[in-house]
């Protein structure tokens, strides 16, 4: 059996620091970092994609980790 997990990754050059992703995360696992949002609690991430779908610049996307 193979499990596929998807976690949010950030393209820093596209991020405009609006923090929409942080506010949309229902698991509250994203936090404001020194320069960019960070996945502070990856084990709490429910892979819902709210951060990626809500990002106005497309800076966050879900990437498969197998």
Burial class of residue 1 (count of CB atoms within 10 Å of its CB; 0-12, 13-18, 19+): exposed
Residue 25 CB partners (closer than 8 Å, separation 6+): 50, 51
Indicate the pTM of the whole model.
0.84
* CATH number of the CATH domain containing 32: 3.30.70.20
For the stretch 13-52, pLDDT in tens is: 999 999 999 999 999 999 999 889 999 999 999 999 999 9
Rounded Cα distance between 23 and 64, Å, is 23
Structural tokens at position 18: 């609006």
Structural tokens at position 14: 């596209």
Q: Show the domain range for 19.
A: 5-65
For the stretch 35-44, pLDDT in tens is: 899 999 999 9
Number of domains in the chain: 1
């Amino acid at each position: 059996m193979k499990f596929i997990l998807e976690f949010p990754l950030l393209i820093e050059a596209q991020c405009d620091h609006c923090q929409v992703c942080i506010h949309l995360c229902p698991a509250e696992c994203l936090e404001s970092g020194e320069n960019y949002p960070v996945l502070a609690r990856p084990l709490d991430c429910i892979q819902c994609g709210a951060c990626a779908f809500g990002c106005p610049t497309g800076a966050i996307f879900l990437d498969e980790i197998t």
